[in-house]
Chain A
Amino acid sequence: MMEVTVSNVTKEFARFPALNDVSLDIRSGELIALLGPSGSGKTTLLRLIAGLDQPTNGKILFGGEDASHKSVQERNIGFVFQHYALFRHMTVAENIAFGLNVRPSSTRPPKNEIRKRVAELLEMVHLSGLEKRYPNQLSGGQRQRVALARAMAIEPRVLLLDEPFGALDAKVRKELRKWLREFHDRTGHTTVFVTHDQEEALELADRVVVMSQGKIEQVGSADDVYDKPGSPFVHRFIGEASELPVRVENGEVWLDDRTVGLKADGAAEGPSSLFFRPHDIEFLSGCGGCFDGVVVGSRRLAGARRLELELGGSQYRVEVDVPVDHPAALRSQINFRPKHWQLFPRSA
């Protein structure tokens, strides 16, 4: 059980900032996701927590104790690498036992105890019987679980996973995702994992840390980041987003010279961006204060049909989802209003 605090951390690679004044509290026993596009600094942050890299500025605390200058060995973390980094010349059992075998003889468990521990770990990751296999004789999902068992063998204080399912096919990803959640609930380790897959982050994590360009955009539960995105970036990055340049005036939302029937209580007056989810809208017949669009494109999604609409005399384009059997034809008119929306001020 261990909480981790990242305090005002900056990391520069050859003068190029990869992380810019990042602070984050990770609670004990929490499963937390670092989510962002490539280049957002999520892997850099994970490596700094692990001690594989040193921050340029700032501190990293393990349970209130400054660990910034501790080596990766001293931090006692379990790290699972994106490409597993299993030792290819060692069997599964030797890989898992590695962290125990390299201990100095004073703290190294006796041989039969190591063997017992390896067997337990293999059982835990559902790979009993594969002790004697070599990594190249395993499937991707099996390798991933060996890597996890190897990291768990040293009884780490914190478990860190770098894109743990990145190299696996979709079906195996889903299985392992569920399995990791169960594994975490059973073992209760403080766990941080990096992903660029929003679905994975939302489904798996207690809290999601959304990152962009070396900064944290928002930290919150799946509900928070999906329903109340804190910035245009988060809204665009998590889930689908339709976006319109609007204006807030007298507590109402205006598109060009007409109101669209949305009350903007508490929003700052002036130019804004209106965000909503394509599927989260209501259709209206007749338009006395709503969006009035013309269908210019239509695509079939898995469970819906996505329409591309032109608004305001072909000035703007947005996407909305309709049921598959909706009769909307090209050039036909659609009146709608988002059920939930978000306004972000926009500089004029």
Chain B
Amino acid sequence: MADRGTRFVNPVDERTGTKIVLTSIGGLYLAFFLFLPLVAVFIEAFRKGAASYWEALVEPDAAAAIRLTLLVAAIAVPLNLVFGVAAAWAIAKFEFKGKAFLITLIDLPFSISPVISGLVYVLLFGSHSVLGPILKSYGIEILFAVPGIVLATVFVTFPFVARELIPLMQDQGSGDEEAALSLGASGWQTFWYVTLPNIKWGLLYGVLLCNARAMGEFGAVSVVSGHIRGLTNTMPLHVEILYNEYNMAAAFAVASLLAALALVTLALKTLLEIRFGAGNAGGRH
């Protein structure tokens, strides 16, 4: 029983040297690929001073792009919220034919390129399509107008809320709902007082991700928007136009808004995860 060999060694621990090397690699990687670009965006944005930064944001075309982005998100997010909750409810709580197909369908927007998502609407509503000319004769413009942008955004952000809720609701089962029904609650009361409070953190999380994607979507929207300045340009499209015009400061100023949105989303998401995790652990019966 000598001193040698009796010291406890944690089986999942590593030597100090290994730790330093691994941590440095991870840290450098993060700094280089995530942190530096983010910093660069803000540095570029403020290169010509705060006044011109502000100027770039309130300039009419930029303001219109910001308004349009907010409008599109304000339509697309609630739509997908309602759809996501309904789909998750159906998938998690009921057995029906074609359920696997529905789940695959919900994932579709994740698996196909956003450009294709946009092209689908061009094919559906373009001037050579069946639907486009008919709608046009009633004075309804879909393509190269706000409705097309909304449609493309809804399509692309389709899975976020449903994907977030399905595993959560499957995990929770139908016990609480059955309890509420047995106590005399109607289906609507059960949803409102029992189901919704049970999923609220997951729902908020899904909505947050959905919103971030709705505001940041470029590919699909780019195809259907037509890039009409002040009319059909969203923030990401506006950034691209400014960039192509070598108007770096303005491009990065608008881009910094999107970056800030991403940061806020991340912060909220982290906050929710802490809350969500704690709530989950405490809420288990």
Q: Give residues in A with beta carbon < 8 Å to B.
A: 50, 52, 71-73, 76-79, 81, 83-89, 98-99, 102-103, 135-136, 143, 150-151, 153-154
| Candidates B185, B282, B283, B285; contact of A73 at CB < 8 Å | B185
| Candidates A89, A143, A154; contact of B184 at CB < 8 Å | A154
* Contact indicator A81/B179 (Cβ below 8 Å): yes
Take A136-B282, A136-B283, A143-B285 as given contacts and tell me if A81 and B178 are in contact as well, using a CB distance cutoff of 8 Å: yes
Residues in A neighbouring B103, C-beta threshold 8 A: none
The answer to whether the Cβ of B113 comes within 8 Å of any Cβ in the partner chain is: no
- Chain B interface residue count, CB cutoff 8 Å, equals 20
* Contact indicator A73/B179 (Cβ below 8 Å): no
* Contact indicator A85/B175 (Cβ below 8 Å): yes
Least CB separation from A147: chain B residue: B179
Q: How far is the CA of A77 from the CA of B183 in the complex (A)?
A: 8
Residues in A neighbouring B181, C-beta threshold 8 A: 52, 71-73
Least CB separation from B177: chain A residue: A85
Please give 20 more A-B residue pairs, beta carbons under 8 A apart, in addition to A77-B182, A102-B193: A52-B178, A71-B181, A72-B181, A72-B182, A76-B184, A81-B179, A86-B285, A87-B197, A88-B283, A89-B283, A98-B180, A98-B183, A98-B193, A99-B185, A102-B183, A102-B189, A136-B283, A151-B182, A151-B183, A153-B183
| Candidates B180, B183, B285; contact of A88 at CB < 8 Å | B285
Chain B positions 4 through 19: 1 when the CB is less than 8 Å from some CB of chain A, otherwise 0: 0000000000000000
Counting from the closest, the 3 A-B pairs by CB-CB distance are A99-B183, A85-B179, A85-B175
The answer to whether the Cβ of B176 comes within 8 Å of any Cβ in the partner chain is: yes
* Contact indicator B184/A99 (Cβ below 8 Å): yes
Most buried by B among A73, A135, A136: A73
Q: How far is the CA of A88 from the CA of B197 in the complex (A)?
A: 9
Distance of A87 from chain B, by nearest CB (Å): 6
* Contact indicator B282/A85 (Cβ below 8 Å): no
* Contact indicator B184/A102 (Cβ below 8 Å): yes
The answer to whether the Cβ of B194 comes within 8 Å of any Cβ in the partner chain is: yes
Residues in A neighbouring B285, C-beta threshold 8 A: 83-86, 88, 135-136, 143
The answer to whether the Cβ of B24 comes within 8 Å of any Cβ in the partner chain is: no
* Contact indicator A73/B176 (Cβ below 8 Å): no
Residues in A neighbouring B175, C-beta threshold 8 A: 81, 83, 85
Chain B positions 252 through 285: 1 when the CB is less than 8 Å from some CB of chain A, otherwise 0: 0000000000000000000000000000001111
Residues in A neighbouring B185, C-beta threshold 8 A: 73, 98-99, 102
* Contact indicator A150/B283 (Cβ below 8 Å): no
* Contact indicator B178/A79 (Cβ below 8 Å): yes
Take A73-B185, A76-B184, A102-B183 as given contacts and tell me if A89 and B197 are in contact as well, using a CB distance cutoff of 8 Å: yes
Residues in A neighbouring B180, C-beta threshold 8 A: 87, 98, 102
Distance of A97 from chain B, by nearest CB (Å): 10
Distance of A150 from chain B, by nearest CB (Å): 7
Distance of A133 from chain B, by nearest CB (Å): 12
Chain B positions 187 through 199: 1 when the CB is less than 8 Å from some CB of chain A, otherwise 0: 0010001100110
Residues in B neighbouring A81, C-beta threshold 8 A: 175, 178-179
Q: How far is the CA of A150 from the CA of B184 in the complex (A)?
A: 12
Chain B positions 157 through 191: 1 when the CB is less than 8 Å from some CB of chain A, otherwise 0: 00000000000000000011011111111100100
Residues in A neighbouring B284, C-beta threshold 8 A: 136
Take A135-B285, A136-B283 as given contacts and tell me if A79 and B182 are in contact as well, using a CB distance cutoff of 8 Å: yes
Residues in B neighbouring A136, C-beta threshold 8 A: 282-285
Least CB separation from A150: chain B residue: B183
Least CB separation from A84: chain B residue: B285
Least CB separation from A50: chain B residue: B182
Residues in B neighbouring A153, C-beta threshold 8 A: 183
* Contact indicator B282/A87 (Cβ below 8 Å): no
Q: How far is the CA of A314 from the CA of B283 in the complex (A)?
A: 57
Take A84-B285, A136-B283 as given contacts and tell me if A78 and B182 are in contact as well, using a CB distance cutoff of 8 Å: yes
Q: How far is the CA of A153 from the CA of B184 in the complex (A)?
A: 11
Least CB separation from A140: chain B residue: B285
| Candidates B182, B186, B194; contact of A87 at CB < 8 Å | B194
Q: Mind listing 26 A-B residue pairs with CB under 8 Å?
A: A50-B182, A52-B181, A72-B178, A73-B182, A73-B184, A73-B185, A76-B184, A78-B182, A79-B179, A81-B179, A85-B175, A85-B178, A86-B179, A87-B180, A87-B193, A88-B282, A88-B283, A98-B183, A99-B185, A102-B186, A102-B189, A135-B285, A136-B282, A136-B283, A136-B284, A150-B183
Q: How far is the CA of A71 from the CA of B194 in the complex (A)?
A: 19
Q: How far is the CA of A136 from the CA of B186 in the complex (A)?
A: 26
Distance of A211 from chain B, by nearest CB (Å): 22
Least CB separation from B190: chain A residue: A102
Within 8 A of A (CB), among B237-265: none
Take A83-B175, A135-B285 as given contacts and tell me if A89 and B198 are in contact as well, using a CB distance cutoff of 8 Å: yes
Residues in A neighbouring B197, C-beta threshold 8 A: 87, 89
Residues in B neighbouring A89, C-beta threshold 8 A: 197-198, 283
